[in-house]
Every structure is written in structure tokens, then in C-alpha cells.
């Protein structure tokens, strides 16, 4: 049997630096746990534009369709701000998501105990927080037609269309319910059924899928604005939240900031199963390319390392090894090792990007 395959796309800014630490973690699992991957690497974003005049070549897109999982660093930077919209670095990432049909975006919001004081919320509200937001990623108002800016009489009108089909809602609902079965068996679906017909359909379809296929999972419904309020009031009431593209974009960013550190947050985007049964998948940190600190050794590699942990869990059915890696990161934080984004006055031991990666490897060694 061939080894599972990974395509690494470091991208721009701090992307290559943090992904270099992920490569070391991947090698550790091969050397110590018998988990060997066939790893290839290519360009995306500004790096691809510099080399090929496009943020994603057809050849790289074809590779992404063939491998078992894609690990991406980050794309973009001010260097590319004046490029035509069609070749901006972000278009490479959007093309990956669209052509791989990565319809379920998984955004965990986990607050490590060692970082609970970093949140703007009271420690008792966020300490131990562990929720998962499942955002529909390939439809809704960001893709609906008609759209655009046009003249109507004497003024301009901006138009976007919120559009969902039953099947688009059903498949992301199933992703949320399957995840819940592996967690605390609880899903909250968020929409605006009180004022939007798309929200009415969303609530109806989620309920139908639940009643027919997942009656063992606890299901609740909440209006998205009330959900935002409850996330800031008592976020630990939630386990899995499933919502549409627009609300998921906003709610996942809100939840991310509950944790107090954007540099610690991974994400996964999952699609339909391939021939081998694995879902098409792309894993990336929530943070951006941070060009202002690129090359300084200040970048935090933990979000990218935790994104690989998500790959172990959701693409390769290695839940125990994913937990091993997550606990190694948690131990490093508990020991007070801190990259620049995690430093507070007199708190912790300063570490460079490479030193943080080395600390994670040392914690993995100690787990054996």
C-alpha cells in the first residue's frame, strides 16, 4: 500500500517559515510513529505569481486534486496590492477551495489554559473553551447571482444574492453532525429564519437531515445575531455550530478572538470523498501572511502545526496521533515557551519560530 500523500504550499510572508516547522513535525511522525507521507511542495499566491505570472498554475491545481491533503501556509502581501484582481495572491486560495469543492470549513476555537489570560474575556468564561464552527464555504451570498454594482436611475446600487439549494445545505449539515458524533454530540444551527427565506430553508433542511439520519445528536437552532451574543456571553454552551458562508465568516472570527491568540488557530476545509474514501481537504492556519514580520523569526508556527494535527484526525483517521501532537503544543505553552505574539510583560520564555518548533518536537519526544 502506498503512503498517504501531502502537497505543501508554503505561500507568502511567514508561510515558508511556519511550514518549515511543520515539515519537521511530519518527519518526526515518520521516524517515530511509522506514519510516513509522500510529501511534495509547490507555489501558491504571490510566490506563484512571481514565478509564473499566476497565483496558481494548472499543474499545481491538478496536484491538489490528486493528493490526500493539501497543507497551505498563507498568501498575500502589500507587494501585490496593485495587481489586477484576477491575479491577486488570494485568487490562488479561492481557486483551490472552489475547484476542490471544499464546502465545509472547520474552524475550531480552543483556548489553552496557559493562554486564558490573553483573551479579552474573563478567564472563567474562556478557560477550557473548545468549540467547532462549521461554515459552508462554496455557496451563499459570496457566490450567488445576480451580483454587482450598477446604475439605477441617478444612483448606484450594489447587489449580492443569498442563494442556497437543499443539497448544499444538506451536505454541510451532515459534516456538522458527523463531527458532533466524535465530540460532545451537540449541534447548534445558526441562520436568520426570522427575516430571510434562505434561513427558513436552511432551518428546514438541517432539521430534516437531523431527524432522518442523526436523531442521536442533540440539535438546537439559533438566530445568528443571537448566536453572536451568546458566544460572547457564555461560549462554552456550544460544541459544534453549523452556519452559512456569510454568518460563518463573521462568527468564526468572533470565536477566534475569544481564545486571545489568532496565531494559535488552525482550520480545515473539507469536500466530497475521493476514490479512496478520504475527503478532499485543505488545511491552513487562520492567520495571514504577516509580511511585516517575515524573515524576523517572530512567526508562531503553532497554528500550522495544529492544522497538521487536524489533517491527522480528519484525513488520515489518526485521532490518537492528532491528540499526541495537540498535547505536545499544549505542554510547550504550559512550560511558558512563547513566540513574540504570545509574550506579555514578564511572562514566559521568548522563542523564535525555529525554537518553538524545536520545543514541540521535544514535547513529542517526551510523549513516547
Give yes or no for residue 56 having a pLDDT over 70: yes
Nearest to 218 by CA among 190, 189, 243: 189
- Average pLDDT, integer, range 185-201: 98
Q: Do 130-258 and 1-111+262-368 have the same topology in CATH?
A: yes
3-state secondary structure of 310: helix
pLDDT, average across residues 84-90: 92
Q: Which residues contact 341 (CB under 8 A, 6 or more apart)?
A: 261, 262, 263, 298, 300
Section 67-80 average pLDDT:
96
Average pLDDT over residues 89-116: 92
Residue 80 annotated to the active site? no
Quick: pLDDT tens for 300-319. 999 999 999 999 999 999 99
* CATH 3.40.718.10 assigned to 130-258: yes
> Are 191 and 223 within 8 A, CB to CB?
yes
What pLDDT shows up at residue 346? 57
Question: Domain residue spans in the chain?
Answer: 1-111+262-368, 130-258
| Residue 335 is a catalytic residue | no
Grid coordinates given for 31 = 521516524
- 148: which residues sit within 8 A by CB, 6+ positions away? 158, 159
Find the distance separating the first CA and the last CA of the chain, reported in whole Å: 26
Take residue 29 and report the three cell numbers written for it.
Answer: 511522525
pLDDT, tens digit, 9 for 90 and up, residues 118-170: 888 898 899 889 999 999 999 999 889 999 999 999 999 999 999 999 999 99
Choosing from 27, 225, 335, 341, the catalytic residue is 225
Q: Specify whether 12 is catalytic.
A: no
Measured CA to CA, the distance from residue 271 to residue 314 in angstroms comes to 11
- Check 101, 253, 335, 341 and give the catalytic one: 253
Cα–Cα distance between 203 and 77 in angstroms, integer? 39
Q: 237 CB contacts (<8 Å, ≥6 apart)?
A: 230
Confidence at 256, pLDDT banded by 50, 70, 90: confident
Q: Tell me how far apart the alpha carbons of residues 142 and 91 are, in angstroms, rounded to a whole number.
A: 14
273 pLDDT higher than 90: no
> Which grid coordinates are listed for 222?
439559533
One DSSP character per residue, 161-193 reads -----HHHHHHHHHHHHHHHHTTTSEEEEEE-T
At 61-73, the pLDDT tens digits run 999 999 999 999 9
pLDDT at 135: 96
- Whether 182 is a known active-site residue: answer no
Spell 226-261 as b/e; 16+ CB within 10 A means b.
Answer: ebbebbeeebeebbbbbbbbbbbbebbeebbbbbbb
226 cis-preceded (ω within 30 degrees of 0): no
User: How does pLDDT run across 333-348, given as a tens digit for each residue?
Assistant: 999 999 988 886 557 8
| Distance in angstroms (rounded) separating the CA atoms of residues 353 and 251 | 29
**Which helix (H) or strand (E) segment is 71 a member of?**
strand 69-74
Write down the catalytic residue from 249, 280, 298, 314: 249
- Pair 76, 49: CB distance under 8 Å: no
Tell me: pLDDT of 296 over 80: yes
Catalytic residue chosen out of the listed positions 24, 123, 130, 142 = 142
Catalytic residue among 12, 68, 80, 192: 192
pLDDT of residue 341: 87
For residue 225, indicate whether it is catalytic.
yes
Neighbour-count burial of 163, counting CB atoms closer than 10 A to its CB (0-12 exposed, 13-18 middle, 19+ buried) = middle
Say which residue the cell 451568546 belongs to: 230
pTM: 0.91
Domain 1-111+262-368 part of CATH 3.40.718.10: yes
In this structure, how many other beta carbons lie within 10 angstroms of the beta carbon of residue 53? 9
Amino acid at each position: 500500500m502506498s503512503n498517504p500523500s501531502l502537497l505543501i504550499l508554503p505561500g507568502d510572508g511567514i508561510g515558508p517559515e511556519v511550514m518549515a516547522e511543520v515539515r519537521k513535525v511530519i518527519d518526526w511522525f515518520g521516524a517515530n510513529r511509522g506514519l510516513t507521507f509522500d510529501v511534495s511542495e509547490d507555489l501558491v499566491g504571490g510566490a506563484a505569481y512571481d514565478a509564473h505570472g499566476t497565483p496558481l498554475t494548472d499543474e499545481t491545481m491538478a496536484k491538489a486534486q490528486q493528493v490526500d491533503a493539501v497543507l497551505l501556509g498563507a498568501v498575500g502581501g502589500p507587494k501585490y496590492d496593485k495587481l489586477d484582481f484576477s491575479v491577486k495572491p488570494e485568487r490562488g486560495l479561492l481557486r483551490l477551495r472552489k475547484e476542490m469543492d471544499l464546502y465545509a470549513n472547520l474552524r475550531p476555537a480552543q483556548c489553552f489554559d496557559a493562554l486564558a489570560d490573553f483573551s479579552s474575556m474573563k478567564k472563567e468564561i474562556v478557560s477550557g473553551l473548545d468549540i467547532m464552527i462549521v461554515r459552508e464555504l462554496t455557496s451563499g451570498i459570496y457566490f450567488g447571482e445576480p451580483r454587482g454594482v450598477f446604475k439605477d436611475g441617478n444612483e448606484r446600487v450594489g447587489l449580492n444574492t443569498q442563494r442556497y439549494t437543499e443539497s448544499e445545505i444538506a451536505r454541510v449539515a451532515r459534516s456538522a453532525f458527523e463531527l458532533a458524533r466524535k465530540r460532545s454530540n451537540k449541534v447548534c444551527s445558526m441562520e436568520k429564519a426570522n427575516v430571510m427565506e434562505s434561513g427558513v430553508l436552511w432551518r428546514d433542511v438541517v432539521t430534516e437531515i437531523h431527524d432522518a439520519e442523526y436523531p442521536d445528536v442533540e440539535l438546537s437552532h439559533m438566530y445568528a445575531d443571537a448566536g453572536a451574543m451568546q458566544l460572547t456571553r457564555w461560549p462554552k454552551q456550544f460544541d459544534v455550530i453549523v452556519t452559512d458562508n456569510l454568518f460563518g465568516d463573521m462568527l468564526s472570527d468572533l470565536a477566534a478572538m475569544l481564545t486571545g491568540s489568532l496565531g494559535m488557530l488552525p482550520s480545515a476545509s473539507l469536500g466530497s470523498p475521493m476514490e479512496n474514501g478520504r475527503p478532499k481537504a485543505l488545511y491552513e492556519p487562520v492567520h495571514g501572511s504577516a509580511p511585516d514580520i517575515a524573515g524576523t523569526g517572530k512567526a508562531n508556527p503553532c497554528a500550522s502545526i495544529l492544522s497538521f494535527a487536524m489533517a491527522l484526525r480528519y484525513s488520515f483517521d489518526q485521532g490518537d496521533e492528532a491528540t499526541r501532537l495537540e498535547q505536545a503544543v499544549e505542554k510547550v505553552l504550559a512550560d511558558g515557551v512563547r513566540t513574540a505574539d504570545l509574550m506579555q510583560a514578564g511572562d514566559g520564555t521568548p522563542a523564535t519560530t525555529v525554537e518553538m518548533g524545536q520545543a514541540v518536537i521535544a514535547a513529542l519526544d517526551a510523549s513516547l
